[in-house]
Amino acid sequence: MTARTPSRTLGESVRDIPEATVARLPVYLRALNTLAEADTRTCSSEELATAAGVNSAKLRKDLSYLGSYGTRGVGYDVDYLRYQIAREIGVTQDWPVVIVGIGNLGHALANYSGFRSRGFRVVALLDADDTRHGEVVAGVDVRAFDDLEEIVTTHGVAIGVIAAPAAAAQDVADRMVACGITSILNFAPSVISVPDGVDVRKVDLSIELQILAYHEQRKAQLS
């Protein structure tokens, strides 16, 4: 227990969770959601590990940070573990999000059901192109980039998504930070710099393709 951590109920983790574990929690949550959709009530660590694509020792270690150890001979309660992980990640709360850049990718993201189902609510789509303003995409208004500050303040937006072209990404990030946004998801194929205290995650849509290419190459070598 550190001075900064208020008292917690028994079973809750008070430790800082390693970054690699944090990155796997959404993967476990997705696997648990799939199990729940199939009406599975309990699962062993081996079943969950297979569904998530990790080994079961790593899974058990990761879940131990959440104070979750399962029940001997029974395994994990799917619904309760979903709740524990969702609470730990913070997706039990509502996260208003703005998306900047309303090209095909911005459109696709606005329509992406996986955001809404995890508590991410797109409150506005912003674009520098005046001719797009007033459009409604996936039930969300397209607004002027100049409205960013007002929208961030009104909705308490902490997370911004950049779906703008690479050349505009740094400008967009600077404006987001100036408006008080402290987490940025960058889909633009460029590196952005931000001050300390602002988190940036970059999505590279080609990473998974490269992993597939590696395995394809191995298959070709072995056949």
- Where does this chain bind a second copy (CB under 8 A)? 4, 22-23, 25-27, 29-30, 34, 88-91, 93, 95, 97, 103-105, 107-109, 111-115, 118-120, 158-159, 161, 166, 182-185, 189, 191, 197, 199, 201-217, 219, 222
Task: Using the minimum distance from each CB to a second copy, give the nearer residue, 73 or 139.
Answer: 139
CA distance 109 to 203: 12
Tell me how far, at minimum, the Cβ of 71 lies from a second copy, in Å.
26
CA distance 116 to 55: 29
Q: Are 168 and 101 in contact (CB under 8 A)?
A: yes
Tell me how far, at minimum, the Cβ of 73 lies from a second copy, in Å.
27
Task: Using the minimum distance from each CB to a second copy, give the nearer residue, 10 or 212.
Answer: 212
Which residues have CB under 8 Å from 152's CB, separation 6+? 98, 176, 179, 180, 181
The number of beta carbons lying within 10 Å of the beta carbon of residue 172 is 25
∠ CA 168-186-103, rounded to 5°: 60
Return the DSSP state at 202.
E
Task: Using the minimum distance from each CB to a second copy, give the nearer residue, 57 or 74.
Answer: 57
Task: Using the minimum distance from each CB to a second copy, give the nearer residue, 130 or 196.
Answer: 196
Task: Using the minimum distance from each CB to a second copy, give the nearer residue, 76 or 115.
Answer: 115
∠ CA 93-94-100, rounded to 5°: 140
Tell me how far, at minimum, the Cβ of 121 lies from a second copy, in Å.
11
Output Rg (C-alpha) for the chain, integer angstroms.
20
Tell me how far, at minimum, the Cβ of 102 lies from a second copy, in Å.
10
Tell me how far, at minimum, the Cβ of 213 lies from a second copy, in Å.
4
Task: Using the minimum distance from each CB to a second copy, give the nearer residue, 7 or 104.
Answer: 104
**Nearest partner of 148 among 119, 178, 169, judged by Cα:** 178
Tell me how far, at minimum, the Cβ of 104 lies from a second copy, in Å.
4
Tokens found for residue 45 = 């660590």
